[in-house]
């Protein structure tokens, strides 16, 4: 582990770790260093699989290819474009056309709010019609972090950050929104899985008919009230229920000022997506202070939503809550019913 | 006609096995040079579909992995010409190096990709806490360098440097464990 490293390599930042970073130009890389840079990039790829979102990429790719092979035109030796190529070409064409239409629209309509509302409407329309989606939720403090206790420096903070990461789930004695997974079907059904102490999970959801809550070693609660078992948080924040993204989008459309509609890449990506920034209207004091949305330009599929200045229980500091789309894979038919999330025989208790 | 269909179905079954055996390797190869995960997915599918169409050209006495990487390398270089923003540092030299590296890994003991690269987990455990925290935040948390910096109360430049050094240490550790063994010059 302590092998001396090549100084010339340390001066070259090969891997972009942020949206503004760019890889080095091959002409600027001294001869003989390409191999070591390639090794660092391979480590990056291995880490993405070991720790990140790439673990399922291979299997996902195999399934997509098998589906493509089911098409008659995909038989070996046949000529003709394959589905993935068609999809790429179609997406490029649609994106280009959408960009042209949008640019024309913006030129004609600015400063009217019409195109801004149209952008949110498009995301809403896609939301209602979308198939299964899975989002990962991250909660981070926003603004300056609170002061550390005396004589606790960076080393202590790093150890704490690492401990929290490695011990998830299970900190704080209650289910956490940070690290939770949100599953959605259509505009109404959802399942929210939150990590709870001792590696267990608290799961709540709505199957289109009733709300339900599954907790470790306790009866399952069901209610006909669609607002039952929402995420516990202060009253003001409950007005923007995170699990109900559709309501959130409606509220953004009606209650927020659309400050920006443009094209921006998601962090870590190069391709631009439809971007909407909505800010709290003057005089309105309810959090969050602003909301950012990224959506696919051709489908309107919501890729990321970020709430700024949000308030959650047990955290005095304003929080940034982000929901990132991690999968559009189809979920089991019964996934949004409570019985899919607990053993048979667990007591089910209706509540008003 | 029935015989031809049967032959095609049989070929597809064999191809599915080859795909599954090489899927993680191909993903690692692409992810090592392509920054945009969506582009990685597209290139993966294109490479597999080109391999399927050209299956008659494949010399079955030789391993499938290098042949598949050869197809993928041509697609990657073509993609680089049209979408440079999607890419990490990439050249023919980098691709050749990765090809030999992945061939080394494929010859390691183990039936699955996870078993062949199991040493990475031990290397991760050996990272100093500060480096490990940065790597966990970057990859498990999916955060960019600015968010890593915020979480660890570092400057963004320090966070970037820490991530780079952590990956460098992991590469050194993998060299020490023989996963990244020394390579003969290409001949």
Query: SS in 3 state form for A124-151?
Result: HHHHHHCCCEEEEEEEEECCCCCCCCCC
Q: Domain ends where: B111, B128, B148? A: B111
Question: Which is higher by pLDDT, B176 or A68?
Answer: B176
The predicted pLDDT at position A317 comes to: 73
Closest residue in B to A6 (Cα) is B168
| A16 in any annotated domain | no
Please indicate whether, in this complex, the C-beta atoms of B46 and A74 are within 8 angstroms of each other.
no
Tell me: do B99 and B134 sit in the same domain. no
Tell me: do B81 and B150 sit in the same domain. no
Its ipTM equals 0.93
Please indicate whether, in this complex, the C-beta atoms of A138 and B117 are within 8 angstroms of each other.
no
Could you report the per-residue pLDDT of B41-80, keeping only the tens digit for each? 889 999 999 999 888 888 878 889 999 999 999 999 999 9
Instruction: Please compute the mean of the pLDDT values over residues A221-237 and round it to a whole number.
Output: 62
pLDDT level of residue A306 (50, 70, 90 thresholds): confident
pLDDT level of residue B9 (50, 70, 90 thresholds): low
Tell me: do B56 and B136 sit in the same domain. no
pLDDT level of residue A128 (50, 70, 90 thresholds): low
Could you report the per-residue pLDDT of B15-39, keeping only the tens digit for each? 888 898 899 999 999 999 998 888 8
Residues, chain B, total? 187
| A256 in any annotated domain | yes
pTM of the model: 0.51
pLDDT at B119 over 50: yes
Number of domains in chain B: 2
| A316 in any annotated domain | yes
| Strand pairing report for A133-141 and A220-223 | unpaired
| A346 in any annotated domain | yes
Partner residues linked to A138 by β-bridges: A322
Could you report the per-residue pLDDT of A321-350, keeping only the tens digit for each? 888 888 888 888 889 999 999 888 889 988
3-state secondary structure A233-258: CCHHHHCCCCCCHHHHHHHHHHHEEE
Q: B187: domain CATH number?
A: 1.10.10.10
Which of A255, A260, A221 has the alpha carbon at shortest distance from A240? A255
Number of domains in chain A: 2
Cα–Cα distance, B166 to B49 (Å, whole number): 36
Tell me: do B97 and B11 sit in the same domain. yes
**Which residues in chain B (108-167) have CB-CB distances under 8 A to chain A?**
117, 120-121, 123-124, 126, 129-130, 132-133, 135-148, 150-154, 156, 159-160, 163-165, 167
Instruction: Please compute the mean of the pLDDT values over residues A118-124 and round it to a whole number.
Output: 68
Please indicate whether, in this complex, the C-beta atoms of B28 and A45 are within 8 angstroms of each other.
yes
Please indicate whether, in this complex, the C-beta atoms of A77 and B53 are within 8 angstroms of each other.
yes
Cα–Cα distance, A217 to A347 (Å, whole number): 10
Instruction: Please compute the mean of the pLDDT values over residues A263-275 and round it to a whole number.
Output: 82
| A238 in any annotated domain | yes
pLDDT at B84 over 60: yes
Please indicate whether, in this complex, the C-beta atoms of A155 and B29 are within 8 angstroms of each other.
no
The predicted pLDDT at position A276 comes to: 84
- Size of the A and B interface in Cβ pairs below 8 Å: 265
Tell me: do B126 and B182 sit in the same domain. yes
Cα–Cα distance, A205 to A192 (Å, whole number): 6
Which of A8-17, A273-282, B21-30 is predicted least confidently? A8-17
Tell me: do A64 and A132 sit in the same domain. no
Tell me: do B5 and B76 sit in the same domain. yes
The predicted pLDDT at position B163 comes to: 94
Instruction: Please compute the mean of the pLDDT values over residues A43-52 and round it to a whole number.
Output: 91
pLDDT at A184 over 90: no
Could you report the per-residue pLDDT of A193-225, keeping only the tens digit for each? 888 766 778 888 888 888 899 988 888 999 887
DSSP sequence for chain B = -HHHHHHHHHHHHHHHHHHHHHHHHHHHHHHTTB--HHHHHHHHHHHHHHHHHTGGGS-TTS-HHHHHHHHHHHHHHHHHHH-GGGB-S--HHHHHHHHHHHHHHHTSS-SSHHHHTTHHHHHHHHS-HHHHHHHIIIIIS---HHHHHHHHT--HHHHHHHHHHHHHHHHHHHHHTTTT---PPP-
The predicted pLDDT at position B64 comes to: 92
Cα–Cα distance, A49 to A18 (Å, whole number): 19
Domain span at B172? 118-187
Question: Which is higher by pLDDT, A152 or B183?
Answer: B183
Phi, psi dihedral angles at A187 (to 5 degrees)? -100, -5
- Enumerate the residues of chain A whose CB falls inside 8 A of the CB of residue B98: 38, 41-42
pLDDT at B143 over 90: no
Please indicate whether, in this complex, the C-beta atoms of B56 and A77 are within 8 angstroms of each other.
yes
Tell me: do A297 and A225 sit in the same domain. yes
Domain span at A32? 24-76
Q: A266: domain CATH number?
A: 2.50.20.10
Tell me: do B96 and B48 sit in the same domain. yes
């Amino acid at each position: 582990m302590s092998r001396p490293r090549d100084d010339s390599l340390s001066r070259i930042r090969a891997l972009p770790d942020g949206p503004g970073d760019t890889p080095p130009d091959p002409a600027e890389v001294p001869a003989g260093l390409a191999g070591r840079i390639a090794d660092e990039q391979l480590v990056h790829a291995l880490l993405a699989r070991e720790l990140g979102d790439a673990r399922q990429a291979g299997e996902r790719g195999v399934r997509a290819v098998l589906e493509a092979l089911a098409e008659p035109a995909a038989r070996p030796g046949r000529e003709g474009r394959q589905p993935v190529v068609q999809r790429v070409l179609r997406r490029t064409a649609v994106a280009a056309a959408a960009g042209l239409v949008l640019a024309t629209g913006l030129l004609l309509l600015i400063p009217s709010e019409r195109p801004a509302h149209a952008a949110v409407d498009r995301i809403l329309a896609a939301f209602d019609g979308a198939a299964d989606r899975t989002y990962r939720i991250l909660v981070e403090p926003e603004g300056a972090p609170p002061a550390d206790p005396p004589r606790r420096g960076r080393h202590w903070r790093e150890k704490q950050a690492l401990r929290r990461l490695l011990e998830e789930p299970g900190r704080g004695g209650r289910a956490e929104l940070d690290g939770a997974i949100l599953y959605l079907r259509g505009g109404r059904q959802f399942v929210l899985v939150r990590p709870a102490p001792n590696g267990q999970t608290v799961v709540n959801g709505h199957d289109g008919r009733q709300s339900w809550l599954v907790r470790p070693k306790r009866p399952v609660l069901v209610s006909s009230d669609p607002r039952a078992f929402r995420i516990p948080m202060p009253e003001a924040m409950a007005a923007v229920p995170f699990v109900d993204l559709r309501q959130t989008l409606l509220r953004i459309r009606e209650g927020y000022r659309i400050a920006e509609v443009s094209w921006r890449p998601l962090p870590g990506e190069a391709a631009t997506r439809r971007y909407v920034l909505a800010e709290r209207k003057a005089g309105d004091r309810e959090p969050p202070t602003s909301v950012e949305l990224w959506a696919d330009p051709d489908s309107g599929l919501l890729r990321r939503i970020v709430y700024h200045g949000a308030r959650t229980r047990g955290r005095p500091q304003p929080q940034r809550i982000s929901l990132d789309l991690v999968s559009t894979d189809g979920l089991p038919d019964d996934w949004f019913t409570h019985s899919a999330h607990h053993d048979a025989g667990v007591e089910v208790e209706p509540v008003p | 006609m029935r015989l031809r269909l049967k032959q095609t179905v049989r070929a597809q079954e064999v191809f599915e096995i080859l795909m599954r055996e090489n899927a993680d390797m191909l993903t690692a190869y692409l992810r090592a040079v392509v920054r945009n995960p969506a582009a990685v997915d597209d290139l993966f599918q294109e490479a597999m579909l080109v391999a399927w169409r050209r299956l008659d050209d494949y010399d079955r006495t030789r391993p499938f992995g290098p042949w598949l990487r050869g197809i993928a390398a041509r697609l990657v270089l073509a993609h680089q010409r049209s979408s440079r923003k999607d890419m990490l540092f990439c050249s023919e030299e980098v691709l050749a190096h990765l090809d030999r590296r992945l061939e080394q890994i494929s010859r390691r003991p183990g039936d699955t990709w996870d078993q062949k690269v199991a040493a990475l987990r031990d290397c991760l455990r050996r990272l100093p806490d500060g480096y490990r925290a940065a790597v966990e935040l970057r990859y498990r948390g999916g955060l960019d360098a600015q968010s890593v910096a915020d979480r660890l109360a570092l400057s963004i430049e320090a966070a970037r440097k820490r991530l780079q050094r952590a990956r460098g240490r992991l590469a050194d550790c993998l060299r020490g464990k023989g996963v990244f063994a020394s390579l003969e010059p290409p001949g």
